[in-house]
Amino acid sequence: MRPGTLISTWTLDCFAGRVRSTSDLVSQVCDPRFINPQTGPFYVEGAEPGDTLAVHFRSIAPREARGVSTTVPLFGSLTATALTAMLHDPLPERTWVYEIDRDAGLVRYDALDSAYQVDLPLDPMHGTVGVAPALREVRSSLAPGDWGGNMDTPEMRAGTTCYLGVNVDGALFSLGDGHARQGEGEACGVAVECAMDTELVVEVIKGATPTAWPRLESDDFLMTTGSARPLDDAFRIAHTQLVRWVQELTDLSTMDAYQLVSQTALTPVANMVDTTYTVVAKIAKRYLPGATAMQDVHERLRSR
């Protein structure tokens, strides 16, 4: 993958297309070893450990006119899980199918046990975006961490640039897990899953302060992420990262940056369902007048 070149690619949905109707249950039609397949890894020319990889999403669009969501036994935020282990039986396993109207920008929620229907805004994003981890680890695409991965934040939409610290030569960038939309927290563990057509362009940033955890930039916001359990630690990571970033961009002292972030941050939960949980901390760029992040790569990539 060459920096600066527009890449058109596509991704499978997290079930590799095996969940097609409300009678397809994940535990019956999917092999757990092949859940959440990724597109990649891509070798990014010139990327070396210590660099920062910028990934700008030009467009993210559902490949099909429908998406699916499910519950999965012992997975989700309001159920006992393999880690939050309890003596309860699993909640029922169900599958919902959403019609997607790409022209109208809507996805239709259709209740299973009653006639309730409601249209929700289409808001496509990638749940999983990452590079190879440090320490020569190989991680499941279900896991989020400091390499990115399965962060499941709705902020990963078109128009956003994601920054990832490079751990190995070529970065080994991959993406997948398209969501037609997702609530913050992804409570039941599964968003409106669909295959995606995605256009993106990458850039390799040399000489910047290495990015310990994934960051995002939109036209209006700088964002940090933390992925850990409990959610408290995900919050702490995201907020210390935001304090440090603000400090770097403004020359504020640590305590002054802490204060400014305390009064301005937005803090949406991304997911509380994956192997670790993800919190996003956001600051509006208008509170940082004159600041330019990451050598202004977001502005360059979005305007190309």
Q: According to CB under 8 A, which one of 29, 61, 168, 187 is a site residue for a second copy?
A: 187
Closest approach, Cβ 116 to a second copy, in A, equals 6
What would you report as the CA-atom Rg of the chain, rounded to the nearest whole angstrom?
Answer: 19
CA distance 240 to 246: 10
Encoded one letter per residue, x for contact with a second copy by CB under 8 A and - for no contact, window 13-42 reads -------------------xx---------
Q: Which is nearer to a second copy, 58 or 139 (CB)?
A: 139
Within 110-129, the residues that bind a second copy by CB under 8 A are 111-114, 116, 118, 120
CB 281 within 8 A of CB 264: no
Half-sphere exposure of 124 (CA within 13 A, CB side): 28
Kindly identify the residues of this chain, within the stretch 127-146, that bind a second copy according to CB under 8 A. Answer: 135-140, 142
CB of 235 to a second copy, least distance (A): 5
Burial of 244 (0-12, 13-18, 19+ CB in 10 A): middle
Name the residue nearer to a second copy (CB basis): 188 or 301: 188
- Give the residue with the Cβ less far from a second copy, 45 or 184: 184
Q: How far, in Å, CA of 255 to CA of 282, rounded?
A: 18
Q: Which stretch binds a second copy (CB under 8 A): 16-24, 50-58, 104-112, 195-203?
A: 104-112
3-state secondary structure 184-236: CECCCCCCCECCEEEEEEEEEECCCCCCCCCEEECCCEEEEEEEECCHHHHHH
> Which tokens go with 217?
């930039």
Judged by CB, which is closer to a second copy: 65, or 266? 266
Q: Does 296 bind a second copy (CB under 8 A)?
A: no
Kindly state the helix (H) or strand (E) to which residue 58 belongs, with its residue range.
strand 52-62
Q: Which of residues 214-253 bind a second copy (CB under 8 A)?
A: 226, 228-233, 235-237, 239-241, 243, 250-253
Q: Which is nearer to a second copy, 70 or 198 (CB)?
A: 70
Total residues at interface with a second copy (CB under 8 A): 89
Q: Kindly state whether residue 102 participates in binding a second copy, applying the rule CB under 8 A.
A: no
Q: Which of 1, 288 has the CB closer to a second copy?
A: 288
Residue 256 touches a second copy, criterion: CB under 8 A? yes
Using the rule CB under 8 A, give the single segment among 8-16, 158-166, 175-183, 194-202 that binds a second copy.
175-183
User: What is the distance between the alpha carbons of residues 65 and 98, in angstroms, rounded to a whole number?
Assistant: 9
Q: Write out the binding residues for a second copy, residues 145-174 only, by CB under 8 A.
A: none
Residues 6+ apart with CB under 8 A from 200: 6, 7, 9, 55, 56, 57, 58, 175
> C-beta of 15: minimal distance to a second copy in Å?
16
Q: How far apart are CA 153 and CA 283, in angstroms?
A: 16
Residues 52-81 touching a second copy, rule: CB under 8 A, are 69, 71, 77-80
Give the burial string for 212-240 (b: 16+ CB within 10 Å, else e). Answer: ebbbbbbeebbbbbbbbeebeebbebbbb
Q: What tokens appear for 186 in the block?
A: 């992804």
